Amino acid sequence: MTRMTVFSLAFVIAGCVQAQEAEDECGAAGLQGLVGQTAAIAELLEFPGQVVRIVGPGDAVTMDYRSDRLNILIEDGLIESISCG
């Protein structure tokens, strides 16, 4: 392998790690086990100092993207998804 190839690979790997961290700035990855659970659990959870948005069917939400905001989507009384944004 040439030095240029190794150098290029280092940039690609670093970029992937940074992108992955940015995608989960809100901590959604650690909460994926809650998907499929009852919506009441979402109401009981506490996230001190974190911006959390629980979105139910028909709720109006802004379309702004905040990588530090935790979004919990509720559908049919269950947690359908958990994501950052």
* Predicted TM-score of the model (pTM): 0.71
* Tally of CB atoms within 10 A around 72: 24
Rounded Cα gap, residues 5 and 38, in angstroms: 50
Note the maximum CA span of the chain: 56
54 beta partners: 72
Distance of CA 29 to the CA centre of its chain: 6
Q: Which CATH number fits domain 3-84: 3.40.50.12780, 3.90.1640.10, 1.10.1740.110, 3.30.10.10?
A: 3.30.10.10
Tens-binned pLDDT, residue by residue, of the chain (85 aa): 555 444 444 544 544 444 444 569 999 999 999 999 999 998 898 989 999 999 999 999 999 999 999 999 999 999 999 999 9
Domain segments of the chain: what residues? 3-84
* Tally of CB atoms within 10 A around 18: 10
